[in-house]
């Protein structure tokens, strides 16, 4: 029941934002300290957000060493992991996010059909 309420709430927010022509992205990046993969993932998602989302995103970085309970509650089993909660659907991307085109597709920032034609 709680999942259904969240789903309805998320859909209502997405519809309201679509009506005013703005979509806001809520992203959480789970990292493991300052490992090479974690540092790369953070740099890559920041670059993607700055280039493609400008002021339409919120990025929260969670270090699983400092906040293991948050990682457990989100069922994070590998890091780095990017979790997109808004706009729906929920998406998880595991890795350092170095494949920008794939990351953009997974986040629905560029249409999936555009990437197939070599654009994006």
pLDDT tens-digit readout, 2-19: 566 666 776 776 666 555
CA distance 117 to 93: 22
Q: Output the six-digit token pair for 73.
A: 């509650």
Does some domain include residue 8?
A: no
* Residue range of the domain that includes 41: 23-111
Categorize the per-residue pLDDT at 120 as very low, low, confident or very high, splitting at 50, 70 and 90.
very low
- Residue 58's beta-bridge partner residues? 26
Does some domain include residue 9?
A: no
Quick check: pTM over 0.85? no
Does some domain include residue 12?
A: no
Domain count within the chain:
1
Does some domain include residue 46?
A: yes
Q: In terms of Cα–Cα distance, which of 29, 57, 51 is closest to 41? A: 29
Distances in Å between the Cα of 41 and the Cα atoms of 2, 38, 98 are 31, 5, 7
More confident residue, 30 or 9: 30
């Amino acid at each position: 029941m709680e999942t259904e309420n969240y789903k309805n709430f998320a859909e209502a927010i997405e519809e309201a934002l679509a009506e005013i022509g703005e979509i806001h992205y809520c992203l959480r990046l789970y990292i493991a300290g300052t490992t090479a993969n974690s540092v790369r993932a953070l740099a890559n998602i920041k670059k993607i957000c700055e280039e493609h989302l400008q002021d339409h995103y919120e990025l929260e970085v969670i270090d699983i060493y400092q906040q293991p309970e948050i990682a457990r509650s989100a069922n994070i089993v590998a890091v780095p992991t990017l979790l997109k909660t808004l706009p729906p659907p929920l998406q998880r991307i595991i890795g350092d996010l170095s494949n920008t085109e794939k990351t953009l597709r997974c986040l629905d920032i560029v249409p999936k059909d555009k990437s197939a034609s070599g654009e994006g």
